[in-house]
Structure 1
């Protein structure tokens, strides 16, 4: 850590020195031209701060700035030429002024510039759009969440299945991207100690601004996640004055479930304060069966699950614009989760030699996650030249208390009972230092340092007595560099990230020898991007990156995660990292009816981490569901998505994708026997979300999805499909919206599977998939936006030379 601090200090001193030298050079060759003036609101005559002032020579951007708090601006160091000065401000019409700087007229004062509100853009204080839109960028796909997706479900997990390339397992809530579950989930660009499957259930859908799918991240970002990164951006607006929105909804399944949220923002002068809060509460019920054909143990298992969950998610923060060049930001996320559940497993053995049994299970789980983020950014004199320091701390405390009771199914007699009390405390600290310097108009350099400390402590009490402890600590120090170049219609960016990774783990269990694990690696992760834009309507992109999947705490923790009468779920502390070389080609075509993006990808995977099930060596009547490293693997895929307007009254988001992968590894083929198995797995998915505009204020939605069958080494999951209908109606002069949605009209959604390893089995699980949602959203406050860019790392976008990548 001391070494890292020394590196940070030296790096910072070097950058400041470079800036001082640059400033000296600029002063020596300072250009004489200057443009000044003041921008005011045409209607109120009040000065407007943070208006974009852009200097152009023809269509070419030269330089620019923003107005101060009193509306004034002063653009210096201009060549003596003819220019166009544009004044741009969100919610206002753009105004242009022509100027001519000469040797006799080196300084021009435009005096007072008045700009007026754009009535069309400001109408209705429209914080949430009617229809979700998909935007394809060089390294990511951005889904701007509209009211159609918000009404699709109460939580982030429920609306994820409506997102192209994303799937959420309805039983485990495990998320996958492009058919692979090794994906990194971020909130506002930051990691969380909460498992992604649980995190998605705690975030209200109405608190989400957009979802970013980053399938091939650049060297600037952490290389974790074989299939890439899913970044969930929560609402934060920066409109002048006081404004916000309130959203309430009820989902009716077997029982009603409430989701409610509000977003507030106040901006005045140099400060912007914002906050949002979301509540999800309700009861969920699931059921299922498994038919097992294990020799001499053939049985039928029936499962019922009932959970009562309440989650609160709050975000509070502020931005302080010290001056035009310095910005300080802070926010905190606070998440509270309280869940209780009960379940029963009924096992009916078909022979009479084994007693039938029933297991009853109850649990209570309370979880508190807190995140604190500090960011300080310096914008130097040169446009795009910046230095940013960010510090992030996250802590998660999640105790769970569970009671297991086993009964003889025929007599009803209690045969055994035990309790599991699990304590989990996770901490995560991150320090980032990022430097961006446009060396020329077409070349951009980025440098950065990062250090992460992560620790997790787990303990298990069995019948209130100490049973086992698991401590897992890792720290990662990294440095990256990227260089982007643009020439004519081509753009290129190359970079590399060097990471020092160290992990230590200690597992203690009563009456057993301590288990230890440690790993110390130094790895290089390169990335490249090549873009060709032959015209405004066509864009080609080729990219490569090397990725890594380091085992998560849930995958390595040997303490039992959950248990049934016949199955225990636990991690494998001997897992090693999985590395992936990822290649991708995308083509975007803009047409009269919208944009269509198609792409293909190839992944070469080393030591793939995969789910595995095997007989419990300590209890042959039970099995263990865990993780293992399999052999190297290859995966291919093709995707096509479109954001289309077929008619003025009909628009749609459409996506299809298909994947092929060869899966191989050593598994338990029959109880107690293991063999090397290799299978070819193919899957196909399709989604379409239609929006029909009946009147100015009335919309209808029709959504359909199909998820093809999927094959793994041990199981074959059947295909799934559903259809939803919905509508929305604007009231209160556009400030309010009433939404309704009927999900899974034909009640076709179910999770069905079959397998023959380590013995033949099949099963099916059902949940409250057929539901009715009713919601109301109300927006209030002033409608003037501040054209203030988000923090660079929150923006989380690949950077390149002079606006190229």
Structure 2
């Protein structure tokens, strides 16, 4: 670890560090020479007289926060360097009533000792916290939507993939492909960090009961990594911060055509200056997929049956050490172990020459170990919100894949094996500085370094394929700054990100000359956000945002190693791809209702050099279709979104969303200029019916309309889920029963009409029954500690 940390810091550009520390020194010099005083005291539970640690103590001037802090483990606090004046003093702690006092500091009262301040429980607030845990809520922030995952979502299915389809603006296909606002160019992060596996595999491996929040960042600011055309989805895993010893255990069983299981355990111990936490989750079982592909002109067909036996284990361990009320050191690790055996049978038929029919048997054995290690140190200065934070994240992936292909029947194809060894490392270093220059002005400055290396080795005994290896190195150094200000009813945030990008790749194939590619780019990514709220009490708010983003070719998109999917289909990458750039504008309106809320918005995206799939026939064998990637001309996309939650009665609540996206794609396919105009519609509606205090029923419906791209159409998709949830043991336990895809209508169906004319459809065993049990336990009162979360600089990276 020591060697790793030393190597990480050596890669940061010296000029960037010099500029950064000069900027920090200048900002530190903005100190006031006004006369100052101090305030001390302690906070107790008024009933039990026990000290309350980590309560918020705040000084306000009018409605503006001037300074403040949190109480120590023994309930005491000290607020230093307070400029003379009269303030409103508040003590806040979740589940308690807020305590208010008016204080004056002057030359005769330089130090105020408030003694012991007793605060009392707020029964209404505690009840609200319990209700919120029952159902998911959506927070609309200036740059993102935050979905706080309640029991209604965790009981929707066994994995993150199962519940993603319930999230507004998010869609997931039967084969696990994720899209945001109708586009698959989305980055998925875990705890704000990139991983080295694809989003499809990632969502299948994370148990749903391990998820705390899901953040949708559709138009990220300059503070965030600019990769991801349609935005970022950040999944935050649970980390308990309750006092004493606490935990939860979850287990679930799903049965469709085969059985699948999921389990998770979360433990936490917090006492004094340290918070220790750990969790374990697993998923294992089999899934079945049936499908067909028919080619009209060639009059050929494929009937496909696939059985996937997957096992995943996810561990998270960490500790937060509160050195004092100004300094916190956090260390954690995520360990993900995944094994899968995929067994597929393809019956390939030729209607004109039935004697040529044959069978293909594919057996894939894949296992990977994905590990991440994170160290974070944060220092809070005396002024509220003034902080500096250093974070180092190291992620590794070791993946081995064995493919065995056997053929029977009248075919010249010989049996063969192939082996793929994939090793990836990803190091990210962040230094973030936040300084509230005044009550309504904040300056943020940061540096980021991302180092990535990938080594891929392909070995096969197939005669017409060659052994090869592929190396991919990518280093990115970034500097960002944002400036935000509140001006009465208006808030704005302006930012800019400077990025130096270096890539070096090498492809070696037996008996072929090596292929080398290097690229060096410097880019600027501006962003802007504007929010208007008619008043502090207003139920309405309006938001306008702009950002420039980039999508660089992923490893799978540029890796030229050819892989056989069927005798008629070969998959490959294109090392000549160039990045695609996106300019995005977004406008949103939010309104709070007495019994709910709704959000209505629109967006426009202009994408240049769009990366998309293409298909063409092999020159040496015209019956074989090669599918790789290419840059197409341009893509204009725009859309409208409406999401709402409403509670008509005490026993009935509903939330839903309706999205309409339209896009124009232009490109060249086999020398022909092609333009496609397409409109896509998605709608979701979730009803919740509370039969008793502890028994709730749910009904969820989803519909996705037909959509077109340059070479194929995707047919519409529709399904209905229903379920029930029962709480017992005074809310500590939850029993769930779901019936998913009741009418077995969920599918992935397509029609290809350029290069080759064919149609196909795939269905998984999505019609299934899920039975889950959750139980939460803990010592003492289990009052959740409300402490300020650090504003993570999300480091989006390519996931493939």
With the shorter chain as reference, the TM-score category is over 0.9
Q: Who is 1:506 aligned against?
A: 506
Q: Counterpart of 1:329?
A: 330
Aligned with residue 760 of structure 2, among 759, 763, 777:
763
Q: Residues 145 and 794 of structure 1: is their aligned pair in 2 closer, same or farther, counting only changes over 3 Å?
A: farther
- SS of alignment partner, residue 646 of structure 1: coil
Displacement of 1:29 in angstroms is 2.1
Name the counterpart of 1:366. 367
Partner of 1:67: 71
1:334 Cα deviation (Å)? Answer: 0.3
Distance in 1, matches of 2:635 and 2:688, equals: 40
Partner Cα separation in structure 2 for residue 577 and residue 415 of structure 1: 38
Give the match for residue 287 of structure 1. Answer: 290
Change (3 A) 1:437 1:354: farther
After superposition, where does 1:432-511 map in structure 2 within 5 Å? 432-463=430-461, 467-511=467-511
For residues 159-174 of structure 1, the aligned pairs below 5 Å read: 159-171=163-175, 173-174=176-177
* Pair 1:562–1:595, CA change in 2 (3 A): farther
Paired position in structure 1 for 2:89: 85
Work out the CA distance in 2 between the residues paired with 1:652 and 1:743. 18
Q: Could you list the per-position Cα deviations for residues 751-798 of structure 1 after superposition, in whole angstroms to 9, with x for gaps in the alignment?
A: 22222222321111111111111101101114112222223217899x
| TM-score (ref. length: structure 2) | 0.94
Q: Secondary structure at the match of 2:18?
A: helix
Q: Deviations over 1:180-224 (max 9, x none)?
A: 111111111111111111111111111111111100000000000
CA-to-partner distance for each residue in 1:254-292, whole Å, 9 max, x for gaps?
111001111111111111111111100010110111110
- The whole-number CA distance in structure 2 between the counterparts of 1:344 and 1:325 is 61
TM value normalised by structure 1 = 0.94
Deviations 1:565-609 (A, max 9, x none): 321222221111000000111111112221111111111100001
Distance (whole Å) between structure 2 residues aligned to residue 256 and residue 562 of structure 1:
30
Give the match for residue 148 of structure 1: 152
Alpha-carbon shift at residue 403 of structure 1 (Å): 0.4
User: Which position in structure 1 is the counterpart of 2:6?
Assistant: none
Quote the residue 2:29 is aligned against: 21
CA contact (8 A) 1:613 1:625 kept: yes
81-90 vs 446-455, which moves further: 81-90
Give per-residue Cα distances to partners, 1:13-60, cap 9 Å, x unaligned.
4366446634xx44x42324x332111233443322211011223434
Gap change, CA 1:229 and 1:706, over 3 Å in 2: same
Aligned pairs for 1:345-424 (under 5 A) are: 345-352=346-353, 355-408=356-409, 415-424=413-422
CA deviation vs aligned residue, 1:481-540 (integer Å, no higher than 9, x gap): 111121110111111101111111111112222222221111000001111111321111
Residues 691-711 of structure 1: per-residue CA shift (max 9 Å, x gap): 111111111111001011111
Query: Do the aligned residues in 2 keep the contact of 1:320 with 1:329 (CA within 8 Å)?
Result: yes
- Are the aligned partners of 1:408 and 1:415 in contact in 2 as well (CA < 8 Å)? no
Shift of residue 88, structure 1, vs aligned partner: 0.9
Gap regions ≥5 residues in structure 1: 669-673, 798-805
Number of aligned residue pairs: give it: 782
Please state whether the residue corresponding to 1:129 is helix, strand or coil: helix
Tell me if the contact between 2:300 and 2:351 (Cα under 8 Å) persists in the aligned partners. yes
CA RMSD of aligned residues (A): 2.2
Residues 20 and 518 of structure 1: is their aligned pair in 2 closer, same or farther, counting only changes over 3 Å? closer
Whole-Å Cα distance in 2 between the matches of residues 79 and 447 of structure 1? 26
Q: Is residue 2:212 matched to residue 1:206?
A: no
- 2:765 partner SS: coil
1:234 aligns with 2:237: yes
CA contact (8 A) 1:124 1:733 kept: no
**1:452-498 CA deviation, whole Å, 9 max, x = no partner?**
11111111110299701111111101101111121110111111101
8 Å CA contact 1:345–1:565 kept in 2: the answer is no
| Structure 2 residue matching 1:201: 3-state secondary structure | helix
1:548 aligned to 2:550?
yes
Could you tell me which residue of structure 2 aligns to residue 261 of structure 1? 264
Flag the 1:478–1:160 CA change in 2: closer, same or farther, 3 A: same
1:712 maps to which of 695, 709, 721: 709
Aligned mates of 1:82, 1:571 — CA distance in 2: 67
- The Cα shift of 1:121 comes to 4.8
Aligned match of 1:614 in 605, 613, 616?
616
Instruction: Find the aligned partners of 1:663 and 1:415 in 2 and give their Cα distance.
Output: 38
1:656 aligned residue: 658
**Aligned twin of 1:95:** 99
Q: Counterparts of 1:569 and 1:553 in 2: how far apart (Å)? A: 13
